[in-house]
Amino acid sequence: MTIESVPFFRPSVGDSEIDQVATVLRSGWLTTGPRVRQFEEEFAAAVGARHAVAVNSCTAALHLAVEALQLPAGAGVLTPTMTFAATGEVIRYMGAIPILVDCDPVTLNMDLTDAERKMASLRGGRLPPTISADTPIVGIIPVHVGGLLMDMHGLQSWARREGMWIVEDAAHAFPAASRSGKGAPWRRCGEATAAVSCFSFYANKTITTGEGGMAVTDQEPLAGWNCARPTSFRG
């Protein structure tokens, strides 16, 4: 087998999926119709979130999440060194500054210990050239690599102490779950694990719509943020 013949991914698409797409095409609802609403409601239930908003990609979900949280220009946001470009670029869309945090060599996820070191360095005046001493650090965007969840229990406790919001890049993480220890209850990714958790339905994900993404949140003002904005959260 040549390299060229190895498929990027083989999605599981059968007659049922094809029939559902044909039904949508015949309905005339090609964007935000009843099937989109059904998908949002069922996805929210699947991850244990109160609200879900379908968008055209996980990148769009991340972008709209930081807009809804009113990320100010010039502020800093912690993000891992190893991730897809979107994690950092949505911060730059807002004129804010990505502050890179090293990743654990075993899990490949953001290293919380290094995040603590970065914050201590900033407070100690050891500043990278992109930020100044008065740069506020307002948020953190963890990424779950390959479906292995970062310790969100520890991260949430730390973020609360630091006064930071969390936007979760969960592009790899449906339908993953974690727990704080043996015997503790399982918590699904998206089940109050962040202010907004952002999922991907790209062709190589666990479920796919070809393209597509979803933002989930328990905070109604964030889910309804599009209603008062000229650019819709619904794409």
Sequence-distant (6+) residues with CB within 8 A of 159 are 140, 165, 166
Amino acid at 131: I
- Cα separation, 135 vs 217, in Å, equals 27
Q: Is 205 a catalytic residue?
A: yes
Distance in angstroms between the alpha carbons of the first and the last residue of the chain: 41
Burial class (CB in 10 A: 0-12, 13-18, 19+), 107: middle
The catalytic position among 150, 166, 205, 222 is 205
Catalytic residues: 205
